[in-house]
Amino acid sequence: MPRPTNIARAVVMACLAAALAMPAQAAARSGGSGPASAESIIVNRGVVELETASSAGISVRIAEDLANVVNDGATRRVVPVVGNGSLANLTDLKLLRGIDIAILQEDVLDYAREQKLLPGLATSISYITKLYNEEFHLLARAEIKSVADLANHTVNVDLRDSGTAVTAGRLFGLLNLTATLANDPPEVAFEKLRNGEISALAFVAGKPAPFFRGLKGIDGLHLLAIPFAPAVAAAYVPARLTGDDYPGLVPQDRAVDTVAVGTVLVAANLEQAPERYRNVANFVEAFFTGFHFLLDPGHHPKWREVSLTAELSGWRRYPPAEQWLQRNLQSAKAPNPEELMGMFARFVDERRQSIGGAPMTRQEKLDLFQQYQRWEGGQVR
């Protein structure tokens, strides 16, 4: 980890000196006395607690990337907290002391609102930005050739309050699939899958998910394709798992069609906690201003799917995030050529998948994108 800069070190020393100069009674009110209280004030300055899903997915890595961009060694600090999944994280965000922001699946927000699981949900949270898509992975035994074969079989869908459990339940309903759902952690479920105790294992995570990345198709285990029926298309977006994503599970000459669900960075209602509200506002300023650094090599490739200006229908945006976008709307809307090419390639992949077309090679997409750029240039007069 890089050493603090001279400026950051000077800020820390100045803050320490100011804290040490506090009257004794003020120090006592802050939870202690003397130097220990001063150190506590400095350590907690600007802290934002970010709850993620389990380490089997990618949200822990995403939180690490955010911390690397936001943390400045003196006034801002992101503290990741590993949660038990999107639905549990939503409950924590509303009720658990100290949790400021969380990474959630979009369909979990809709599910919680539809089921009225948390009273006053629409006013107790707001979104900072939409993030990336997470793919639905369905790992099955050799004898299971299609999703339809899972009828009346047992499928593990992670813990009961996880995002996977919500997505699997909704998705299987849209596919009219009747299966028995089990709620073991993915690591436990994998052993049960190998032993034949269950027929499939579902897991929602951004590709390449750490849990699947190192797996090999032992005993005929394979990823199942998800039919993109009209009912499914209304709720989820098409996605594809390739040999580059999972070289041990997917042959290089073919891909597995699946669906994906969006994720979102959500903030608690902290208007009654002014210091925490300011901390999250400072986090937003640093995150949005430094967003372009997250597109550099070394950060997770899923950051290239993120558009800060994308809106989450039916939910209100966190006021400091909305204010930042209003001040910086043009720069926030202006992706660089590499980002444009990435978005164009994803559009082509999703479009061809939705109409049943064969995937295009990277060179074919690049050639088509260049043709589009030439056409676009000809439209400008």
pLDDT tens per residue, range 346-376: 777 777 766 667 788 877 777 787 677 656 5
Mean pLDDT of 54-78: 91
Position 315 confidence tier, pLDDT thresholds 50, 70, 90: very high
Answering whether pTM is above 0.85, one says: no
More confident residue, 80 or 12: 80
CA distance 293 to 65: 10
Taking Cα atoms as reference points, which of 60, 106, 116 lies closest to residue 83? 60
**Cβ neighbourhood burial of 100 (10 Å; 0-12, 13-18, 19+):** buried
| Exposure string over 307-343, b if 16+ CB within 10 A, otherwise e | ebeeebeebebbebbeebbeeeeeebeeeeeebebbe
Quote the tokens at residue 259: 């669906």
Look at residue 314 and give its three-state secondary structure.
Answer: coil
Q: Per residue in 229-268, pLDDT tens?
A: 888 988 899 999 999 999 989 988 889 999 999 999 999 9
Average pLDDT, the chain: 84
What does the pLDDT average to over 203-219?
Answer: 87
**Rounded average pLDDT over 275-285:** 95
Q: How confident is the model at residue 183 (pLDDT cuts 50, 70, 90)?
A: very high
Q: Are the CB atoms for 374 and 354 separated by under 8 Å?
A: no
* Section 176-187 average pLDDT: 94
- The pLDDT of residue 357: 75
